[in-house]
Amino acid sequence: MSSRKCMFVGWMGLLGLSLGCATVPGEVRLRADGTPLSEKCPEKSQEVMKYLRLFVGEAAWVQLDANQSRADTITLYDGPIESVLDEDIGTLDAPARLYGRVWTGGAQPVIRYYSAQSMKGGDIIPICAVARLGFGQLRKLPESKPGTAVLASPRAGVYIVNEFR
């Protein structure tokens, strides 16, 4: 049996354990400007990420909104988001779906990912990741209305984290 298949079998066992202890991701207290406060990455998510070699700081490119891929500008809304991983990260092969939540209250949106699913098949796995771009490139454009974030790019970096800050 290949090492990748062994890892997958072991991952399935960890996933089964983690589903019984799941909390509701994305339900966090907000600051006055509508951005979320810090949030711990659940222990089970950290265990699964370690097993899948999704180490803190690893990064890849992601299409922020699966429904607006490759557009010149995109509009994100407060609430759930489904993104598409453009590059492999750890043992998670691209393309894969990333599921999370968006908050648009501040100068730039906050995007946190709580789970992923390979588009080649498989179950949803718990993760902790954030979308970000340097040099203010994820800032909202002036035409953004309350509850939305109009962005100049449909892509961002997705980074594995052990705590949402």
Q: Write the CB contacts of 35 (distance below 8 Å, at least 6 apart in sequence).
A: 103, 105, 106, 110
Domains in the chain, please, with CATH? 3-164 (2.40.128)
What is residue 19's predicted lDDT score, i.e. its pLDDT?
A: 39
pLDDT at residue 38 is higher than 80: yes
pLDDT tens digits, one per residue of 7-22: 444 444 444 434 333 3
Give this prediction's pTM: 0.83
Q: How confident is the model at residue 24 (pLDDT cuts 50, 70, 90)?
A: low
Three-state SS annotation for the chain:
CCHHHHHHHHHHHHHHHHHCCCCCCCCCCECCCCCECCEECCHHHHHHHHHCCCCCCCEEEEECCCCCCCCCCEEEECEEEEEEECCCECCECCCEEEEEEEECCCCCCEEEEEEEEECCCCCCEEEEEEEECCCCCCCCCCCCCCCEEEECCCEEEEEECCEEC
- Statement: residue 103 has pLDDT above 90: yes
User: How do residues 114-150 score in pLDDT, each as one tens digit?
Assistant: 999 999 888 999 999 999 998 888 999 999 999 999 9
Which residue has better confidence, 7 or 89?
Answer: 89
